[in-house]
Structure 1
Amino acid sequence: MTSFNGTATIGHVMQAAVRSIDRSSILALAAGQVVARRVALGFAAAFDPWRADHTEFHRMVPEKMEAFSSAGMIMLERSSHAGFTMTRLASDQVLTTASATMAMAGCADPLALAEAQGQFALAWLDRLGSAMAAMGMLALHAHEAAMEPIHDAVAANTERLC
C-alpha cells in the first residue's frame, strides 16, 4: 500500500494504470472468446436441445453472481479504506491550516508574513501532489483487487470452453 509521505509518484500511478489497462485488455479478449463459445453452444442447443450442454448453461448465472458478489465486497472494503484515508487527509489539512494560521498571526512584519504564506503554499502543493498520487494508487489497487474474482472466473471459463 502506498503511504502519504511522498513515496507514491505520478510515475508509480502511471505504471499501475498501464498494468491495469493491460490486464483489462487480456480480460476483455478472454471474455469475448467465452461469449463466442457460449453463443455457439446456444445455437447448437436451439437445433438439438437434447444434446445441449445443460451443465454449462446452468453454470453461467451462478458463476457470474459469485464473481460479481466477490468483486462488490472487495470494492466495499476498499472504498471504506479510501473513505478513512480521505478523512484523515482532510483532518491533517485542517490541523496544518490551523498551525499555519497561528504561525502567520505571530509574524512581526509584512515580509515575515509573506514568507510564512509562501512556505505554507509550497508545503501545501507538495502535500497535494503526494495525496493525489496516493489516492490514485488506492483507486488502482482497489480496481485490481475487485477485478481479480472476475478475472479468475473468465480464466476458468476460457480453460474449460476454449
Structure 2
Amino acid sequence: MRKSLAPIALALTVMLVGCSNTPTATDQPAEKTNAQVVQEAKPADLTGHWKQVNSQSDDAFQSATVTDDTITIDWVTNNGDTKSVYWVGTFKSPTEAAESYVWTSKRDKGATDSALLASTSDNKEFTFSDEQISYEAGIMGTTTTVRLAKD
C-alpha cells in the first residue's frame, strides 16, 4: 500500500509547486501601445466649497465658495450659524495643469463696502498648492495665512 501512495504524493507535490505564484510571461503587465489612450494632466478645478483647515477653533473659521468667475469668503462663527462677508472678488480658473496656481482677485466693492468685517484691500493674492488655497487675512491689526481645503 505504501508503494502505491508514493506516486500520488509525488504528483501532488509537483502540482502544488506548479501552482505557486511564480510570475509567467502572461502575468506581466502588457506594454502600452500607440492605440491606448494616455490620460493627459488637466488644470485643477477649484470651483466648489472650501473650509479653513488651520483654524484654532472649530467654532470660528473662514469658508469660501469658488464659482467660475468669483471667490466669496466668509468669517464663520457660532457653529456655522453666523457668517460675515470677508471677501468677494474675481476668480479666473487655471488654464494649464501645474502643481501650483497663483491669481490676483479684484475686490467687488459693491458687495464688500457695507460689510463690517470685509477686507478693504482692492486686490488679494491667492495661491493654490498641495490641494489647498492660501492667502493672507487680517483683522484688527493681526494678519494670518489662511489655508482652505475643499469641503
Which category of TM-score, normalised to the shorter sequence, fits these structures?
A: under 0.3
TM-score if structure 1 supplies the norm length?
0.18
Bigger helix fraction: 1
Give 1 or 2 for the bigger CA radius of gyration: 2
Bigger strand fraction: 2
Q: Using CA pairs below 8 Å that are at least 6 residues apart, which structure has the higher relative contact order?
A: 1
TM-score if structure 2 supplies the norm length?
0.19
